Amino acid sequence: MLHTQIRGGIKQAMLAKEATKLSVLRGMLTAFTNDLVAKGMKPQDEISDADALAVIKRLAKQRKESIDQYEKGGRPDLAEQEKEELVILETYLPTAMPREEIKKIAEAKIAELGITDKSKMGMLMGAIIKEAQGAADGADVKAVVEELLG
């Protein structure tokens, strides 16, 4: 399980004296605990891999937004730290689905659902993400849908 793997990673990071990795992994465990408590479970319970991935994706998205804000604000030093943390988070995420595959799914869903204009864009994006089973990045899906519906 991903939860157990991250606990083991904390021990390894402590032994190797990798401060950034240790900080990120501890933050992930805290986010897992918060997610468990929010769902009415006990903090010591194991989080499912699907929920763990959702939490890690959320943390990665936060890092990407922070990087963008720091770069706009002229703080490359802080942006660099966020980039290092993002790299660590991404090692626990599955590789993102390529745009070509997203486009194939999108074309099939457009035909299947009979969508002809942008008014049903949200429904189409939801169907594509569900079909991709979380492997497709939301921004990529949006770009492909906008390209196809023009």
Could you give the domains of the chain?
2-90 (1.10.1510.10), 99-149 (1.10.10)
Contact (CB, 8 A) for 147 and 107: no
Q: What are phi and psi of 138, to 5 degrees?
A: -60, -40
| E strand or H helix at 123 | helix 121-132
End-to-end CA, the chain: 42
DSSP annotation of 93 reads: S
pLDDT digits (tens, 9 = 90+) for 74-106: 999 999 999 999 999 999 888 778 888 888 888
pLDDT digits (tens, 9 = 90+) for 13-34: 999 999 999 999 999 999 999 9
Task: Pick the closest to residue 86 from 60, 112, 124, 50 (CA basis).
Answer: 60
pTM of the complete model: 0.71
